[in-house]
């Protein structure tokens, strides 16, 4: 597999050139979210290690066509912060003078080393799909003893340290749509630069909420700097390798 893929159209980030720090045909993640577009997590782990050859990553990124992109994004076939070399990869990507984003499920934000690595990124989108432990376990199905409190405290700690753009990504489905008010309350505590209200419009084992349902959820977030998936238009992009992109972004 190639490590660099895309560019892909992102409703949150624009034309995004992807860097996959896990790069596995079978998803490796600390969560097994019920809505994930990549399906079930085959390897659920909290082991941080060098999942890819960083030399290959650097070579591919240097050669990748960047003339029609808005951002370089670390995401792909698993949780990016599982890669112990993420900090070095972010620093390398920044040399190309594009904003560098990381999409994370927040499972390692309790770790000061990971927070320090992420502080180098221009944009960090941190997942928060639940207002309590029961809902967190039901939706995100975390590895080992990862708790809702650890996730929340980790995001709050990162907010205090981070000087870039912090986005809070919230995926709404039937299992949590009744908790929108409580989740908005958590967002007000965290004070992110942006709240991303999403529902699974791409392939998923869980159906998306309707536009009407999402508009009702938006009411709970009034006064917060939110964007919502049905209201945003995506930029058109042509990936340089459709197969590699489809592995990470199945339709």
Average of per-residue pLDDT across 221-250: 80
Q: Which of 55, 54, 109 is nearest to 79 (CA)?
A: 109
**% residues pLDDT > 90 (the chain):** 89
The C-alpha atoms of residue 39 and residue 246 are separated, in whole angstroms, by 13
| DSSP secondary structure, the chain, as one string | --SEEEEEEETTTEEEEEE-SS--SS-EES---TT-TT-S-SEE----B--S-HHHHHHHHHHS--TT-SEEEE-SSB-GGGBTTHHHHHHHHHTTSS-EEEEE-STTTT-HHHHHHHTTSSEEEEE---SSHHHHHHHH--STT--HHHHHHHHHHHHHH--SEEEEEEE--TTTGGGHHHHHHHHHHH--SEEEEE---SS-SSPPPPHHHHHHHHHHTTTS-EEETTTPPPPP---S-HHHHHHHS--
Where are the chain's structural domains?
Answer: 4-248
Contact (Cβ atoms closer than 8 angstroms) between residue 34 and residue 94 = no
Encode pLDDT of 141-168 as tens digits.
Answer: 999 889 999 999 999 999 999 999 999 9
Q: Which residues pair with 8 in a beta bridge?
A: 16
* pLDDT of 235 strictly over 70: no
What residues contact 193, with CB distance under 8 A and at least 6 apart?
Answer: 165, 166, 167, 225
- For domain 4-248, the CATH superfamily is Aldolase class I (3.20.20.70)
Q: How confident is the model at residue 236 (pLDDT cuts 50, 70, 90)?
A: low
The angle, 0 to 180 degrees and rounded to 10, between the axes of the packed helices 180-190 and 211-220 is 50
Q: Which residues pair with 5 in a beta bridge?
A: 18
Encode pLDDT of 85-143 as tens digits.
Answer: 999 999 999 999 999 999 999 999 999 999 999 999 999 999 999 999 999 999 999 99
Contact (Cβ atoms closer than 8 angstroms) between residue 69 and residue 235 = no
């Amino acid at each position: 597999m190639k490590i660099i893929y895309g560019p892909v159209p992102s409703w949150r980030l624009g034309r995004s050139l992807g860097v996959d720090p896990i790069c596995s045909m079978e998803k490796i993640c600390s969560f097994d979210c019920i809505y994930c577009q990549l399906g079930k997590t085959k390897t659920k782990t909290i082991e941080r290690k060098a999942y890819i050859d960083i030399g290959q990553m650097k070579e591919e990124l240097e050669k990748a066509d960047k003339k029609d992109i808005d951002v370089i994004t670390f995401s792909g076939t698993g949780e990016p912060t599982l890669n112990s070399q993420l900090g070095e990869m972010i620093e390398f990507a920044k040399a190309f003078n594009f904003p560098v984003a990381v999409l994370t499920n927040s499972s390692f934000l309790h770790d000061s080393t990971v927070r320090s690595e992420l502080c180098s990124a221009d944009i960090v989108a941190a997942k928060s799909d639940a207002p309590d432990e029961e809902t967190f376990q039901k939706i995100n199905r975390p590895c080992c003893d990862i708790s809702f409190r650890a996730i929340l405290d980790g995001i709050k700690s990162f907010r205090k340290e981070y000087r870039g753009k912090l986005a809070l990504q919230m995926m709404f489905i039937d299992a949590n749509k009744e908790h929108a008010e409580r989740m908005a309350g958590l967002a007000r505590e965290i004070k992110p630069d942006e709240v991303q209200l999403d529902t699974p419009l791409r392939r998923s084992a869980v159906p998306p909420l309707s536009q009407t349902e999402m508009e009702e959820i938006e009411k709970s977030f009034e006064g917060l700097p939110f964007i919502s998936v049905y209201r945003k238009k995506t930029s058109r992009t042509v990936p340089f390798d459709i197969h590699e992109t489809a592995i990470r972004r199945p339709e």
